[in-house]
A and B are shown apart, each in its own frame.
Chain A
Amino acid sequence: AQSVTQPDIHITVSEGASLELRCNYSYGATPYLFWYVQSPGQGLQLLLKYFSGDTLVQGIKGFEAEFKRSQSSFNLRKPSVHWSDAAEYFCAVGGLDAGGTSYGKLTFGQGTILTVHP
């Protein structure tokens, strides 16, 4: 069964500081990986996604993530955080099984709440 772990429930950074949010996944075959962001009272917005190829993927709002198969990780990074980045961030995994059939269902992590101090 696939699973996603976001080890940090809450992270606080100062505006302008760099950010890294951790995501570890468990998946039997070829994973597709996603990061979503959710502002209070809103739905989830897709930040970026990884399917294959270059392991460093760029997303919206200046975010990037790196897929490391050996570590089963897909950490989200931003070099300089803005106050508007304060939100909850979700990592998700889905993808192809060993038989090559893709699944529509994603598994989400529990989320990491980001607080940004001025």
Chain B
Amino acid sequence: ETGVTQTPRHLVMGMTNKKSLKCEQHLGHNAMYWYKQSAKKPLELMFVYNFKEQTENNSVPSRFSPECPNSSHLFLHLHTLQPEDSALYLCASSQGGQGRYGYTFGSGTRLTVV
């Protein structure tokens, strides 16, 4: 399998639930990213990982907890979410530190918090 794969594609969770989003890439990239895309808002960069190390956290609330066990896998652990956290969560990867090649995106996880 090639590209960036995100699972699940859709997720509905209550505010007291704990769930995780998964992202996997088979492109040999070294950098991975989580983005949040809400309706009528710009893409929001949440976290950046380079060679498994977190290099950026854009003031994301602690109810979002990323994990990057290796360069191919990225998780976003969710707990005690709010309705305003409902959005499309996109994972992307790139050749580490090389912005010239752009990002490869997954298809996203549509999250609904009820």
**A111 partner, pick from B42, B48, B100, beta carbons under 8 A:** B42
Q: B110 to A41, Cβ gap below 8 A?
A: yes
Query: CA A32 – CA B106 in complex, angstroms?
Result: 21
Q: Which residue of A lies closest to B4 (CB)?
A: A43
Classify chain A: how many residues form its interface, as a range.
20 to 34
In this assembly, does A74 line the interface, its C-beta being within 8 Å of a C-beta of chain B? no
Number of B residues near A (Cβ < 8 Å) is 28
Q: A92 to B102, Cβ gap below 8 A?
A: yes
Q: A32-B100, A34-B102 are in contact. Are A104 and B31 (CB under 8 A)?
A: yes
Chain B 78-104, CB-CB to A under 8 Å as 1, else 0, gives 000000000010101011111111111
Q: A51-B100, A94-B100 are in contact. Are A105 and B48 (CB under 8 A)?
A: yes
Q: B106 to A46, Cβ gap below 8 A?
A: no
Query: CA A95 – CA B102 in complex, angstroms?
Result: 9
Q: Which residue of A lies closest to B30 (CB)?
A: A104
Residues of A contacting B96 in the complex (Cβ-Cβ under 8 angstroms)? 104
Query: CA A49 – CA B106 in complex, angstroms?
Result: 19
Q: A44-B90, A110-B42 are in contact. Are A104 and B99 (CB under 8 A)?
A: yes
In this assembly, does A42 line the interface, its C-beta being within 8 Å of a C-beta of chain B? yes
Q: A103 to B43, Cβ gap below 8 A?
A: no
Q: B98 to A46, Cβ gap below 8 A?
A: no
Q: Which residue of A lies closest to B108 (CB)?
A: A43
Instruction: Please provide the chain A residues from 41 to 89 with a CB less than 8 Å away from any CB of chain B in the complex.
Output: 41-46, 49, 51
Give the interface centre of A34, A92, A94, A105 by most chain B CB atoms within 10 Å: A105
Q: A34-B102, A43-B105, A92-B102 are in contact. Are A103 and B88 (CB under 8 A)?
A: no
Q: B102 to A49, Cβ gap below 8 A?
A: yes
Contacts from A to B (Cβ < 8 Å): 32, 34, 36, 41-46, 49, 51, 90, 92, 94-96, 102-106, 108-111
